[in-house]
Structure 1
């Protein structure tokens, strides 16, 4: 989601990012072909809703964040992609994915630039972000977790005194680790995406890594030389983002909320959840550990 410089941030940033928008957007690529950033096109099948690319629901995300969004056999797949497909199907549209810096999403820059219709990126709903973008109803419950090498003897943040903890820049995990660093005496090593951080654990460059529980359990499942040893009760919920204070974006989010509610009622949501996580909502992840209470209050982001 160069090991210490760039951003897949989960925190709200300042307007300074907007000043870099033209350059940042010029550097971003799309995982599918199609017209992007134009004046939009209204499709009759959508009931008058305008999309940035005719016939498509253009979704901004930041790869890779398996199992929420990642590339497989040349296609972008994952839990988030299946969720947005629910709304796209109802509107008669095809999902088109754009891979872009996460910070451009959380600041609302991608919507100001008409780059995409919605954003799905394992993004926690926070009060600061709600000032910049419109959120859907929550669609996933998450918390922070700690990944280590198997048999490390590390059981939580209090086991990391004098050790190195990998964090993903701008994320909830980084914020939580920062709040607890002084009390637990570890050094934070900042990575700009998920794969760099978790693979640093495998390689022994850091002693542990903190990130959202869903992605860490998925990584540990595929890498048995690692394990999730702790979870922290941060009480986060993911939401789909769209342009704030915009009637068209509000209508799209309304369609998404309706599709999500229907999927929860008819069992489709549970099927999608089990497809990607191997359990039903609320059930423990395979290999799950006891959840630890925060050592200090953590602001979800």
Structure 2
């Protein structure tokens, strides 16, 4: 009897302990979930400003060329840099061969072109131009001993031009586009070197480039010949057709540098005199 009572007491006690443990387990609270990190209050950095890529054929001094460090320098470069500063935009100049320069613009590889580009009705069909920034005309370069006095005198001579320029166009009209008397070169300085070597009898090119070359190459003994038959030209900055936003910025910057005297200062630095009144309006 004593053994049975002891056994029942043990079983009762064990049952109470187990029940207590079960209740304790049921009453256990789960650990609180970690708090979510507070959202950052720091402002996101502003997007990087767009850098407009400017194509230029850096073989056309004094408008654009490369110095001994390989940097692109010249009148056009200084003008566009001043325009960009006034317009509040950032630009990057990229040397671009003349023969492909307009395709680079059309394909979107360049945002803007500055390369002594004459504004013509034909070019206006595929690109838009800024207000004019330089007055130019064609000029004939010949040896100092030459008897050439006018453009028509070139009809039976060998003439050097830069491919695709307005000089190429006017000579093609005079001699015929496929004439073998026309020698085309990648740059005007190369054509003038050919004149120096007597490979051609004359070179027709923009006045600014011809005068600069003759002035800085006295040993070549060249002279220049002008002709009223040459139509006055004006240079403009070119943007892709329909890019109104960029064109407005460029025109505003150009108007500002003309108004405050910056343009006239740059012009005098390269050409030794004040610009014609028409181009600074």
Find the counterpart in structure 1 of residue 27 from structure 2: none
Q: CA offsets, 1:178-207, max 9 Å, x none? A: 22227xx99222222212101111111111
2:53 counterpart of 1:58 = yes
RMSD over aligned Cα atoms: 2.3
Give every structure 1 segment of 4 or more consecutive aligned residues whose post-TM-superposition deviation is greater than 6 Å.
none
Q: CA offsets, 1:236-281, max 9 Å, x none? A: 11111111123xxx22221221121122122111111111111211
Stretches of structure 1 that go unaligned for 5 or more consecutive residues are 1-40, 45-50, 284-301
Find the counterpart in structure 1 of residue 66 from structure 2: 71
Q: Normalized per residue, which structure has more strand?
A: 1
Question: Please, what TM-score do these two structures have when normalized by structure 1?
Answer: 0.69
Q: CA deviation at 1:102?
A: 2.4
Stretches of structure 2 that go unaligned for 5 or more consecutive residues are 1-45
Q: Secondary structure at the match of 2:231?
A: strand
Q: CA deviation at 1:91?
A: 4.5
Q: Normalized per residue, which structure has more helix?
A: 2
Q: Which has the larger radius of gyration?
A: 2
2:236 counterpart of 1:233 = no
Find the counterpart in structure 2 of residue 223 from structure 1: 217
2:208 counterpart of 1:214 = yes
2:141 counterpart of 1:179 = no
CA separation of 1:86 and 1:262: change in aligned 2, threshold 3 A = same
Aligned 1:193-272 pairs, distance under 5 A: 193-224=187-218, 225-231=221-227, 232-246=229-243, 250-272=244-266
Question: Please, what TM-score do these two structures have when normalized by structure 2?
Answer: 0.73
Q: CA deviation at 1:217?
A: 0.6
Number of residues paired by the alignment? 226
Q: CA deviation at 1:94?
A: 4.4
Q: CA deviation at 1:112?
A: 4.1
Find the counterpart in structure 1 of residue 159 from structure 2: 165
**Matches of 1:68 and 1:242, distance apart in 2:** 18
Find the counterpart in structure 2 of residue 31 from structure 1: none
**Matches of 2:94 and 2:107, distance apart in 1:** 13
